[in-house]
């Protein structure tokens, strides 16, 4: 095991796959010579050279389009969109072209590509550089959607995303880049579509994603220490494919579900999980399903304001207590 930051795990994941497969290429703004604005790709240009690690202009449509065209003709591109908010300027390529073309062509082409991006809040960047947009991607048939919470999962899920034959939206939570964690030595690949129980518990299931996972764990500690409530925490890890079985196994035991989402309220991924559980596990429930989300607002910039609106461990605790009581 090596201790790596979430940021270093991005680089290691890309490097592992580029060493393994010459068809893996990488492009984005400031990713090569500068090593990425979040320093997630430092050293890749030096190791793999300018034919495989390429800086682009500020042209998100060109970046995504080039990745699409390359993937349908034999390469396995990884494209970086600097902030996930910027997907809005190239969403046609993502949602209409990459996601639909395999289906529309009766399966003639595949798009083995990864679109990486720094997602989410907590960095005081304001409303246009802090959104949590994984639910945009989840709403589009044809896109796989992954959002890791730990350095080990960054590396392992990124590797699996590169190897996957379908387009994967890979959301890195930017406030986690400095977080350290153990990453297995040697080749590390984690399968897509498998949620992980990160804390066992009996009274309530808390389902979380990315930066909400450590907050859910902190809340679970408080619930156990101060309120005698045993919370099970599930890191969803992958919204598409979605591991409903791990969720069902947990909720059928605990009888209670709380989702913790960073995305704004309406049509967040927790609503989809809630609807699935309500339809299929209703008679196992001992109370209403609760969603803890960012309110339905653009994110404010000031630290005091941003901290007040993003789901916090305290807010999770309050909701769980209301549910269990």
Partner 1 sequence: MGNTAAAKKTAIVQAPGIDQATRLKLYRVMYECRVLEQRAYDLFMQNLVKGTSHLALGQEAVAAGFGTAMRSDDYTFCTYRGHNHTYVRGVTMTSILGELMGRECGLLRGKGGSMHLTSVEHGAMGSYAIIGAHLPVAAGAAWSAQYKGTGQVSVCFFGDGTTNIGAFHEALNFAVIWNLPVVFVCENNLYMEYTPIDEVTAVKNPAADRAGAYGLASIVIDGNDADVVYEAACAALDKARRGDGPSLIEAHTYRHGGHSRADPGKYRPDEELQAWLARDPIPMYRKRLIDLDVSEAEIEAIESETDAVIDQATEEARNSPPPPVDIAHIDVWADGSATWRN
Asked if 301 and 124 touch (Cβ cutoff 8 Å), the reply is: yes
Of the candidate spans 31-39, 96-104, 207-215, 293-301, the one that interacts with partner 1 by CB under 8 A turns out to be 96-104
Give dist(CA 115, CA 67) in Å, integer: 9
Restricting to residues 10-69, which ones interact with partner 1 according to CB under 8 A?
Answer: 25, 51, 54, 56-57, 59-69
Stretch that binds partner 1, among 36-44, 98-106, 148-156, 199-207 (CB under 8 A): 98-106
The DSSP string of 265-323 is: STT-HHHHHHHHHHHHSGGG-SS--EEEEE-SSPPP-SHHHHHHHS--HHHHHHHHHHH
Q: Residues 71, 84, 117, 254: which binds partner 1 (CB under 8 A)?
A: 71
Among 108, 266, 279, 325, binds partner 1 (CB under 8 A): 108
Report d(CA 290, CA 320) in Å as an integer.
8
* Contact pick of 5, 40, 84, 97 for partner 1 (by CB under 8 A): 97
Q: In angstroms, give the least distance from the CB of 192 to partner 1.
A: 11
Quick check: 74 binds partner 1 (CB under 8 A)? yes
Of the residues 13, 28, 122, 142, which one makes contact with partner 1 according to CB under 8 A: 142
The answer for 186, left when phi > 0, alpha when psi is -120 to 50, beta otherwise, is: left
Check the CA dihedral 243-249-255-258 and report its sign.
negative
244 part of the interface to partner 1, by CB under 8 A: yes
Residues in the chain: 325
- When the beta carbons of 92 and 286 are compared against partner 1, the nearer one is 92
Contact 232, 172 (CB under 8 A): no
Taking CB under 8 A as the rule, does residue 276 contact partner 1? Answer: yes
The residue within the footprint of partner 1, chosen from 8, 12, 153, 166 (CB under 8 A), is 166
Instruction: Tell me, by CB under 8 A, how many residues bind partner 1.
Output: 50
Do 148 and 237 contact (CB within 8 A), yes or no?
yes
Tell me how far apart the alpha carbons of residues 191 and 75 are, in angstroms, rounded to a whole number.
21
Q: Which helix (H) or strand (E) holds 52?
A: none
Task: Please confirm, yes or no, whether 227 is among the known catalytic residues.
Answer: no
Q: Are 78 and 44 spatial neighbours (Cβ–Cβ below 8 Å)?
A: no
Q: Is 72 in the site for partner 1 (CB under 8 A)?
A: yes
Rounded CA gap, 70 and 46, in Å? 22
CB-based contact 173:147 (threshold 8 Å): yes
Q: By C-beta, is 57 or 186 nearer to partner 1?
A: 57
Which one of 19, 20, 105, 128 is in contact with partner 1 (CB under 8 A)? 105
Question: Nearer to partner 1 by C-beta: 147 or 320?
Answer: 147
Answer yes or no whether residue 186 interacts with partner 1 by CB under 8 A. no
Residue 285, both tokens: 């429930």
When the beta carbons of 244 and 312 are compared against partner 1, the nearer one is 244
Kindly list the catalytic residues. Answer: 129
| Interface contacts to partner 1, rule CB under 8 A | 25, 51, 54, 56-57, 59-75, 77, 92-93, 96-97, 101-110, 112, 141-142, 165-166, 193, 240-245, 276
């Amino acid at each position: 095991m090596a201790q790596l930051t979430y940021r270093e795990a991005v680089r290691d994941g890309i490097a592992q796959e580029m060493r393994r497969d010459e068809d893996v290429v990488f492009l984005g703004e400031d990713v090569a010579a500068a090593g990425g604005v979040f320093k997630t790709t430092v050293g890749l240009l030096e190791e793999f050279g300018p034919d495989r690690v390429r800086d682009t202009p500020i042209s998100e449509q060109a970046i995504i389009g080039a990745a699409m065209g390359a993937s349908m003709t034999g390469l396995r591109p990884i494209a970086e969109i600097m902030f996930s908010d910027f997907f809005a300027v190239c969403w046609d390529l993502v949602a209409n072209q990459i996601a639909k073309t395999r289906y529309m062509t009766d399966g003639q082409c595949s798009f083995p590509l990864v679109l990486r991006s720094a997602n989410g809040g907590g960095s005081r960047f304001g409303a246009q550089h802090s959104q949590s947009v994984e639910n945009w991607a989840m709403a589009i048939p044809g896109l796989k959607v992954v959002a890791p919470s730990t350095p080990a999962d960054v590396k392992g899920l990124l590797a699996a995303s590169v190897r996957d034959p379908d387009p994967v939206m890979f959301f890195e939570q930017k406030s986690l880049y400095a977080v350290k964690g153990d990453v297995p030595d040697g080749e590390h690949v984690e399968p897509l579509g498998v949620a992980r129980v990160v804390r066992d518990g009996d009274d309530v299931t808390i389902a979380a994603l990315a930066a909400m996972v450590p907050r859910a764990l902190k809340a679970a500690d408080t619930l156990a220490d101060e309120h005698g409530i045993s919370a099970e925490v599930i890191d969803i890890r992958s919204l598409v494919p979605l591991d409903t079985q791990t969720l069902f196994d947990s909720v059928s035991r605990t009888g209670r579900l709380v989702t913790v989402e960073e995305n704004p309220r309406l049509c967040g991924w927790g609503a989809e999980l809630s609807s699935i559980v309500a339809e299929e596990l209703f008679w196992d429930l001992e109370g209403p399903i609760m969603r803890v989300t960012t309110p339905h607002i653009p994110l404010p910039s000031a630290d005091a304001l941003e901290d007040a609106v993003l789901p916090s461990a305290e807010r999770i605790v309050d909701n769980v207590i209301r549910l269990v009581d």
